[in-house]
A and B are shown apart, each in its own frame.
Chain A
Amino acid sequence: MTALAQGDLAGLGSLAPRRQRFEAAPYLYLAPLILLLGIFTFWPLLHTAYLSVTSWNLNPGVPVRYVGIANYEDVIDSDLFSAALWNTVVTILVSIPLKVLLPIPFAVFIWSMGSRGEIYRTVLFLPTMISFVAVSVAWLWILSPLGGYLDLVLSSVGIKLPPLLTRAETALGTIIGISTWKIFGFHVLLFLAGLTRIPHRLIDAMRIDGASDGVILRRLIWPMLGPTTLFVLISTVIFTMQQVFTPIDMLTKGGPSNATTNLFYVTYQYTFMNFSVGQGAAATVLLFVFLMIVALVKFRLFDRFVHYR
C-alpha cells in the first residue's frame, strides 16, 4: 500500500519543474522492501486497530461485527489481563537489577583483563546461540520434580525438589530465572562493547591527575555506560514480553492460575486459545500503548544522557 502511495507521489513530484531528472531506479531498488514492510508491518498495525473494535472468532464463515469499545472494556475488566499486566510489571522490576545492573560488574571485570578475557566472553555468549525452545526443554528436565536431574541429585542427599513450575508462587520466578540464564551473558557483552568505546587517553589523563580506580569507575566509566545501560533496559522490557513467549508457552501456558502470563502472551491467549480476535486485538493495542510509554520514557532519559553519546 505504502509503496504504491509513495510511488504515485514521486511521479507527481517529477512533473514539477526540478533541476534533477526523475530517476525511477532508487524506487525500483526499494520496491520489494517497502512493499513487504507495507503489507506485513504497517498495514497489520492499522488492521489490528480495526479488529479491536469488532467481534470475530477466526471462522471465515462468521461475519465480522462492529462492537465499539466493548472489547477494551472486557479486556481491562478481566482477571486474565490484570494478571498479565501485574506479571509484566513485576518481571520488569525484578529484571532491572538482575539483567540490567548485575551484568555491569562482570563486564568491567572482563574488560579489565584485556584480551585474556576472551574465554569468559566466549562462554557467556553461548546461551545466545541456543534456541529458547532448547533452553526451555533443558530446564524443564533439570527442574522436573519427577526424575529431573536436580531432583535426582537432591534426593540422594534427602532433599525433595518442589514443583517449581506448577506452583503459582514459584512459577513466575522460575520463568524469570530461565530467561536470565539465556540473556545474561549477552548483556555482559553489550556492556563490554560500551566499555571498549571509552577512550584510553581519558583514563590515562585521570590517572596522571592522581585519580584512584574507584574514582575512575564512578566518575568516568559509569557515566560513559549511560547509553548502553538505557539500551539494555529498553531491550530487556521488550525481551521480557516478546522472547519470553517461548518458555511460557512451552512450560506453563500462562498458568498456574495466570501466574506467568504477560502482556504479549495474553494477546495470543485471547486470539488463538479463546478465538476472540477482537479481544486479542484490543489487548494488542493496549500492549502497543504500553510500549509507546516505554519508548517515551526512553527518549526522555536519552535527553539526559545525550552528551555522553
Chain B
Amino acid sequence: MVRLSASSRAIGHAVTATLCCLILIPMALVALTAFKSQPEVYSALPWPQQPTLENFRRLFAVSFDVYLWNSFATTILRVAGQVLIAVLAAYAFARFEFRFRNALFALVLGALMIPHSLTMIPIYIMVVELGWFDSWAALIIPNLAFPFGVFLLRQHMMQFPKPLIDAARADGASHWKILWRIIVPNMGPAIAGLVIVAFIECWNEYFWPLLVTDSDKMRTIQIGIRRFLDSEGVDSFGPLMAGVTLASLPALLVFFVLQKRVMDTFVSSGIR
C-alpha cells in the first residue's frame, strides 16, 4: 500500500468528499421532493415541510401499478431464463470435450462484443413478424442469451474440484444429476452475483422496451416514467421525482443488502 503524506491525504479527502456530495445531494433532493406537496416543489427549501404521498397517488392513478408489475414479472422471467440457459451452456464448455468447442466458445465471446445497437433493426422486424410486438415475449425472448453469464459460470465450473465430480461419476451419476445436484448448489455466490447483475440491467433497461412496447398494459416502469414526462409535461416535477424514486428503489435495496457481492460482480462484468 502506498502511504500518502499528510497534506496530500487532506487534499484527497477534501476532493473525494466533494465528489461524494455531488453524487449524494442530487439523489437526496430527488427523494425529498418526491414527498413535497405541489406548491412546495417550487420552493428552494430541500425538504418537505408537510410530507405527503400525493405524488405517489398521482402515479398510481395512471397505471404505474401495471408498469411495476410488468417490470417485476418480465425481469424475473428473463433473468431466470438467462441464468438457466447460461448454466447449461457453461457446463458444456467446462466439462465436455467435443468438436467445435473452441469455435463455439469464440462465438460466445464474439457475441459479448456486439452491442445491441448493431442488431436492433432486424430483431425489431422479427418481433413484429412473429406477432410479439407489445407483449412480454418481445421483452423477454430476444434477450435470453447472456454471453457474460456463460463466460463467468464456465470460469467457476472449471475451477470446481474434479475429485468430487469423478466420485459422482464413479457412483453412476448422470451429467444432468452432477450439474444440478453437485455443481449448481456449490456455486451459490457466483450465481447470486450473476442474478443481481442481470436483474439490475433488465430492470433499468430503456431502449429495448421503448422499441417493442406500445400500450399501457405492456409498459415497464422506465418507459412509464418517460410517458408520464411526455403527457404531463415538465411542470409535474413532484410526481416525476416520485416515479424516479420508485424506479430506483429495487436496485438500491438489492445493493444495500448485498453490497460487496454486487460491487464485485459488477466490476468483473465490466472487465470482461
Residues of A within 8 A of B (CB): 2, 6, 9-10, 13, 20, 23, 25-27, 29-30, 32-34, 36-37, 39-45, 47-48, 51, 58, 60, 106, 108-112, 114, 120-134, 137-142, 144, 146-149, 152-153, 156, 181, 184-186, 189-190, 193, 200, 203, 213, 216-217, 221, 228, 231, 235, 238, 241-242, 245-246, 249-250, 264, 267-268, 271-272, 277, 280-281, 284, 287-288, 291, 295
Q: In the complex, how many residues of chain B place their beta carbon closer than 8 angstroms to a beta carbon of chain A?
A: 97
The 10 tightest CB contacts between A and B, nearest first, are A131-B204, A26-B96, A44-B122, A29-B92, A44-B119, A47-B122, A36-B145, A109-B12, A33-B89, A26-B92
Contact A288 B118, beta carbon cutoff 8 Å: yes
In the complex, chain B residues 1-34 whose Cβ is within 8 Å of any chain A Cβ: 1-5, 9, 12, 15-16, 19-20, 22-24, 26-27, 29-30, 33
Partner of A27, one of B98, B229, B259: B98
Partner of A272, one of B29, B206, B211, B255: B211
Contact A134 B244, beta carbon cutoff 8 Å: yes
**Interface secondary structure of B, over-half rule:** helix
Q: Which residue, of A47, A111, A129, A142, has the highest number of chain B Cβ atoms within 10 A?
A: A129
Q: Which residues of B contact A6 (CB under 8 A)?
A: 100, 103-104
Knowing A40-B123, A128-B266, say if A152 contacts B89 (CB, 8 Å). Answer: no
Contact A281 B121, beta carbon cutoff 8 Å: yes
Contact A33 B117, beta carbon cutoff 8 Å: no
Q: Which residue, of A131, A148, A228, has the highest number of chain B Cβ atoms within 10 A?
A: A131
Minimum CB–CB distance for A24 against chain B, Å: 9
Partner of B29, one of A25, A42, A149, A184: A149
Mask of B217-244 contacts with A, CB within 8 angstroms, 1/0: 0000010011001000011010011011
Contact B113 A295, beta carbon cutoff 8 Å: yes
Distance, CA A45 to CA B205, complexed state (A): 22
Distance, CA A250 to CA B225, complexed state (A): 10
Q: How many A-B residue pairs have CB under 8 A?
A: 271
- B254 to chain A: closest residue by CB: A129
Knowing A41-B111, A137-B243, say if A48 contacts B263 (CB, 8 Å). Answer: no
Knowing A112-B2, A112-B4, A141-B240, say if A245 contacts B206 (CB, 8 Å). Answer: yes
Knowing A13-B99, A23-B96, A138-B241, say if A32 contacts B85 (CB, 8 Å). Answer: yes
Identify the stretch in B53-61, B159-167, B245-253 within 8 Å (CB) of chain A at 4 or more residues: B245-253
Q: Which residues of A contact B171 (CB under 8 A)?
A: none
In the complex, chain B residues 32-61 whose Cβ is within 8 Å of any chain A Cβ: 33, 41-44
Distance, CA A149 to CA B268, complexed state (A): 37
Minimum CB–CB distance for B188 against chain A, Å: 21
Contact B23 A133, beta carbon cutoff 8 Å: no
Contact A37 B145, beta carbon cutoff 8 Å: yes
Mask of B109-129 contacts with A, CB within 8 angstroms, 1/0: 001011111111111111011
Q: Which residues of B contact A246 (CB under 8 A)?
A: 206-207
Contact A129 B251, beta carbon cutoff 8 Å: yes
Distance, CA A121 to CA B33, complexed state (A): 26
Contact B122 A131, beta carbon cutoff 8 Å: no
Contact A245 B118, beta carbon cutoff 8 Å: no
| 29 CB < 8 A contacts A-B | A6-B104, A10-B100, A29-B89, A32-B88, A34-B104, A36-B85, A36-B144, A37-B108, A37-B145, A40-B123, A41-B114, A41-B119, A45-B119, A51-B121, A108-B2, A129-B200, A130-B248, A130-B251, A131-B251, A134-B30, A137-B240, A140-B234, A141-B240, A147-B235, A152-B44, A186-B266, A217-B2, A284-B118, A284-B121
Q: Which residues of B contact A121 (CB under 8 A)?
A: 263
